[in-house]
Amino acid sequence: TNGTFLPLQNIQGDIFVGMKKQLETFYFFHINDATSFKTALKSYVPTITSTATLLSPASSQPLAFVNIAFSSSGLKELGITDNLGDQQFSSGMYADATNLGDSLSNWKSTYAGTDIHGVFLMGTDQTSYITSYLSDIESTFGSSITQLDRIDAAARPGSEAGHEHFGFLDGISNPAISGFSMNVLPGQAIVPPGIILIGRPGDATIRPPWTLDGTFMAFRRLQQKVPEFNKWTLDNAIQNEAKTLTVQQGADYLSARMFGRWKSGAPTDLSPEVDDPTLGADPQRNNNFDFSHLGSLLISDQSKCPFSAHIRKTNPRADLGDLNTINHAIRAGTPYGPEVSSSESSSNTTTQDRGLAFVEYQSNIGNGFRFQQINWANTANFPPLKTVTPGIEPIVGQGSPRTAEGLDPANQSKGYTIPQFVIPTGGEYFFMPSISALTSKIAA
């Protein structure tokens, strides 16, 4: 399929293509009995959804897509002690949480440790299919596993579908994979397959042969304080040059600058002062920018996009000369939790848990998710060589003080101290093997 040299029937589907369904359930489990787990897994492997299946016509697809991944403690539980060549994976995310900037006190106890051995990811359009696939998992695996947590993530309702909880269109910019992606979109980064898949060109680490075509999945449970975010942007609303904005428009302007995109997805680099929903919805144009049109002002001018903006910190484009093909990962997260209630919005206070079930795939955690979080988002002096200190990334950047400049285009040296609106409450590093490795190495 697809004219690629990659064995698409052997690569789990969420990695390159994404399940792209209304509903995505994460079922985190502990393995109680390795022997019976391995037997059950052998019979379950045919249900695991490949990339080839996700690319096949909808009429021939199953009712739900299922992928599976294991933590380092999970592989050990199954008797697999090979070194996978990734330090962060081996130690697990909890051991790394302080380095990432997390407050451990915010971590849910389920994730605080190494009890989570694996996760099933399930994508579908109907709740009843989730129910029936889950009951199939529970009858197949029986008491060999115990559910430790379950996150029922879902696209937001109506016109908010595809938007994360702060209201911004997500899933626009992911790297294209050379030798796989057929239609590279204007502005899209192109990375060698081994940046994502283990053992392919671009993955320089020597690892056990059975890990070929697997990937590391960084999972983060990121709570979002939406009413608080809305209140803060209203309280700090900014003005355009003509001073014609209402407070709400000024809040939208500020929040767009914190992301580097408007809620519609339109990049502020291309549409600096107003949202442009036609641009936001046009894949031929909505990623076709790299800040470089500023020429020599690239080092000083934040009028179009703050240096600290979410999309600029996590993908610096021309700030690094567009040459960086290493620090990329494929994002495949889904929002979880209910819509903001009227009492939450009138009290400007979160009372129901909501956020992003964040997923990133890469062959090297330290180059992908972890680099974006620690070396970029959390580092005030990134992007480098600017005439001012950009500050910490205002959405997911962690550290104190959480300060950034450049958010107000009329007063670019004005510093902001920004409350934390995204709270990491758990997560884990997983290895998502190829489908043949599930059969030949992990199952029995």
For the CB of residue 421, give the shortest distance to ligand HEM in the complex, in Å: 8
Q: Which stretch binds ligand HEM (CB under 6 A): 107-115, 117-125, 309-317, 431-439?
A: 309-317
**What is d(CA 313, CA 163) in angstroms, rounded to the nearest whole number?**
20
Instruction: Tell me phi and psi for residue 30, to 5 degrees.
Output: -110, 140
For the CB of residue 366, give the shortest distance to ligand HEM in the complex, in Å: 12
- For ligand HEM, the binding residue among 114, 315, 350, 434 (CB under 6 A) is 315
For the CB of residue 279, give the shortest distance to ligand HEM in the complex, in Å: 13
Taking alpha carbons only, the member of 361, 243, 371 closest to residue 313 is: 371
Query: Which residues, in sequence order, are CB contacts of 158 under 8 Å at separation 6+?
Result: none
Instruction: Rank residues 224 and 379 by Cβ distance to ligand HEM and give the closer one.
Output: 224
Annotated catalytic, 136?
Answer: no
Taking alpha carbons only, the member of 127, 430, 408, 42 closest to residue 250 is: 408
176 binds ligand HEM (CB under 6 A): no
377 binds ligand HEM (CB under 6 A): yes
- For ligand HEM, the binding residue among 372, 378, 425, 434 (CB under 6 A) is 372
Q: Which stretch binds ligand HEM (CB under 6 A): 49-57, 118-126, 249-257, 311-319?
A: 311-319
Conformational region of residue 306, where left means phi above 0, alpha means psi within -120 to 50, and beta covers everything else = beta
- Of 44-83, binders to ligand HEM (CB under 6 A) are none
Instruction: Rank residues 51 and 314 by Cβ distance to ligand HEM and give the closer one.
Output: 314
Query: What is the Rg, in whole angstroms, of the alpha carbon atoms belonging to the chain?
Result: 22
Q: Which stretch binds ligand HEM (CB under 6 A): 10-18, 120-128, 142-150, 166-174?
A: 166-174
Size of the site for ligand HEM (CB under 6 A): 27
CB of 283 closer than 8 Å to CB of 185: yes
Binding mask 115-154 for ligand HEM (x = CB under 6 A): ----------------------------------------
Angle at 347 between CA 343 and CA 351, to 5 degrees: 65
304 binds ligand HEM (CB under 6 A): no
314 binds ligand HEM (CB under 6 A): yes
For the CB of residue 167, give the shortest distance to ligand HEM in the complex, in Å: 9
181 binds ligand HEM (CB under 6 A): no
- For ligand HEM, the binding residue among 261, 285, 354, 441 (CB under 6 A) is 261
- For ligand HEM, the binding residue among 116, 404, 422, 435 (CB under 6 A) is 422
Q: Which of 14, 96, 170, 252 is catalytic?
A: 170
Cα dihedral 355, 151, 439, 361, rounded to 10, equals 0
- Of 204-223, binders to ligand HEM (CB under 6 A) are 220, 222
CB of 243 closer than 8 Å to CB of 409: no
* HSE-up of residue 433 (Cα within 13 Å, Cβ side): 24
Query: Which residues, in sequence order, are CB contacts of 385 under 8 Å at separation 6+?
Result: 299
170 binds ligand HEM (CB under 6 A): yes
For the CB of residue 312, give the shortest distance to ligand HEM in the complex, in Å: 8
Cα dihedral 361, 364, 370, 371, rounded to 10, equals -110
164 binds ligand HEM (CB under 6 A): yes
Cα dihedral 422, 424, 425, 426, rounded to 10, equals 150
- Of 345-364, binders to ligand HEM (CB under 6 A) are 355-356, 358
Pairing mode, strands 176-177 and 190-191:
parallel
For the CB of residue 123, give the shortest distance to ligand HEM in the complex, in Å: 18
Burial class (CB in 10 A: 0-12, 13-18, 19+), 343: exposed
405 binds ligand HEM (CB under 6 A): no
Which two three-digit tokens encode residue 90? 């081996």
Instruction: Rank residues 51 and 362 by Cβ distance to ligand HEM and give the closer one.
Output: 362
Instruction: Rank residues 166 and 429 by Cβ distance to ligand HEM and give the closer one.
Output: 166
**What is d(CA 54, CA 18) in angstroms, rounded to the nearest whole number?**
8
Taking alpha carbons only, the member of 113, 46, 117 closest to residue 80 is: 117
CB of 231 closer than 8 Å to CB of 251: no
Residues known to be catalytic: 170
Residues that bind ligand HEM (CB under 6 A): 164, 166, 168, 170-173, 220, 222, 224, 259, 261, 310-311, 314-315, 331, 355-356, 358, 369, 372-373, 377, 395-396, 422
